[in-house]
């Protein structure tokens, strides 16, 4: 890791950034958000930053191609949807990245891979080589073979583990809302939280879901847990809306900033 990033204003100096986007932000009626997301990633890449994208969305992308009306509940059909959807998802990203002459590299992992020393070492070497070659890695959970993770997991934790793996300067968690709030943002009295100190346990926050029902699996609680995991390893985290990704990667005053543990 290079010199620590202490504030949003320093984001433009980051040498390595992990960006995570959820299913509901880039699938279904929101598939059009892929292009502006890629615009923001390409801008960071263009200034010399190494960018890793952790993208959910394989199952959600595959659902309509299996003639299903909603997310399947059985594991085998979820795996089938993931197998179809992952192919289409990577194609959509690469098709958009082609405008900038950036090549994507697909990396499929499970959280378990990053807890196994051999698998972790292999993944780290592969990721480092991709970044050396100026390839933009796109990481997703390997939903076709996942079991527990596919049912109960989310990619927020995976993104935090990837940020640890590559010793990122910053983790950006994108969501359907613009920041963390003291309670679900549509509830009366909800207050936006713009800064979270490392030692703040957020005991005053009432967590609700983030994401379109039936598509994504994460929520505010999973994002905070992931942010705390990354911050505990020295990587600051910005939680922001997918629509604000360009501003977020430019250092604008958006989202919720999670302060990292100081060495």
DSSP string, 14-72: -SEEEEEE-HHHHSGGGGGGHHHHHHHHHHHHHTT-EEEEEE--HHHHHGGGGT-SS--
User: What's the structural domain count of the chain?
Assistant: 1
Strand, helix or coil at 192? strand
pTM of the prediction? 0.92
Q: Which structural domain range is residue 226 located in?
A: 8-258
Q: Is 25 annotated as a binding residue?
A: no
Kindly state whether residue 186 falls inside one of the protein's structural domains.
Answer: yes
Q: Is 20 annotated as a binding residue?
A: yes
Q: Is 101 annotated as a binding residue?
A: no
Kindly state whether residue 244 falls inside one of the protein's structural domains.
Answer: yes
Who contacts 23 (Cβ-Cβ below 8 Å, separation ≥6)? 56, 57, 59, 60, 211, 215, 216, 217
Q: Write the pLDDT tens digit of every residue in 121-162.
A: 999 999 999 999 999 999 998 878 766 544 435 789 999 999
Q: Is 175 annotated as a binding residue?
A: yes
Kindly state whether residue 263 falls inside one of the protein's structural domains.
Answer: no
Kindly state whether residue 90 falls inside one of the protein's structural domains.
Answer: yes
The token duo for 64 is: 């309509």
The token duo for 230 is: 């990354």
The token duo for 97 is: 């990245």
Interatomic CA distance for residues 158 and 108, integer angstroms: 11
Q: Is 132 annotated as a binding residue?
A: no
Find the Cα–Cα–Cα–Cα dihedral 75, 24, 242, 239, rounded to 10°. -50
Q: Which residue has the tokens 């549509």?
A: 186
List the pLDDT tens digit at each of the 263 positions of the chain.
456 899 999 999 999 999 999 999 999 899 999 999 999 999 999 999 999 999 999 999 999 999 998 889 888 999 999 999 999 999 999 999 999 999 999 999 987 788 889 999 999 999 999 999 999 999 998 878 766 544 435 789 999 999 999 999 999 999 988 999 998 888 898 999 999 999 998 878 887 654 443 444 457 888 999 999 999 999 999 999 999 999 999 999 999 999 999 87
Strand partners, 254: none
Q: Could you give the residue ranges of the DSSP H alpha helices within 142-188?
A: 148-152, 155-165
Average pLDDT, rounded, for the chain: 90
Kindly state whether residue 1 falls inside one of the protein's structural domains.
Answer: no
Give the CATH number of the domain where residue 179 resides: 3.40.1160.10
Query: Quick one: how far is CA 141 from the chain centroid?
Result: 11
Kindly state whether residue 129 falls inside one of the protein's structural domains.
Answer: yes
> What are the backbone angles phi and psi of residue 208, rounded to the nearest 5°?
-125, -175
Kindly state whether residue 3 falls inside one of the protein's structural domains.
Answer: no
Kindly state whether residue 2 falls inside one of the protein's structural domains.
Answer: no
Q: Is 154 annotated as a binding residue?
A: no
């Amino acid at each position: 890791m290079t010199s620590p990033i202490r504030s949003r204003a320093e984001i433009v100096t980051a040498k390595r950034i992990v960006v995570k986007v959820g299913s509901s932000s880039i699938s279904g009626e929101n598939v059009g958000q892929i292009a502006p997301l890629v615009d923001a990633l390409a801008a960071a890449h263009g200034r010399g930053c190494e960018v890793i994208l952790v993208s959910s969305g394989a199952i959600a992308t595959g659902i309509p191609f299996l003639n299903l009306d909603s997310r399947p509940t059985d594991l085998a059909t979820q795996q089938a949807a993931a197998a179809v959807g992952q192919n289409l998802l990577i194609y959509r990203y690469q098709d958009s990245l082609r405008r900038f002459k950036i090549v994507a590299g697909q990396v499929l992992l499970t959280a378990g891979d990053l807890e196994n020393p051999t698998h972790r070492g292999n993944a780290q070497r592969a990721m480092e080589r991709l970044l050396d070659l100026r390839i933009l890695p796109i990481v997703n959970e390997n939903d076709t073979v996942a079991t527990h993770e596919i049912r109960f997991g989310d990619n927020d934790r995976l993104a935090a583990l990837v940020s640890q793996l590559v010793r990122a300067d910053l983790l950006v968690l994108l969501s359907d809302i613009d920041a963390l709030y003291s309670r679900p943002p549509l509830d009366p009295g909800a207050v936006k939280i713009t800064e979270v100190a490392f030692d703040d346990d957020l005991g005053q926050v009432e967590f609700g879901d983030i994401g379109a029902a039936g598509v994504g699996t994460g929520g505010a609680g999973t994002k905070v847990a992931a942010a705390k995991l990354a911050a505990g390893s020295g990587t600051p985290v910005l939680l922001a809306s997918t629509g604000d990704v360009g501003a977020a990667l430019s250092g604008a005053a958006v989202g919720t900033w999670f302060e990292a543990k100081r060495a």
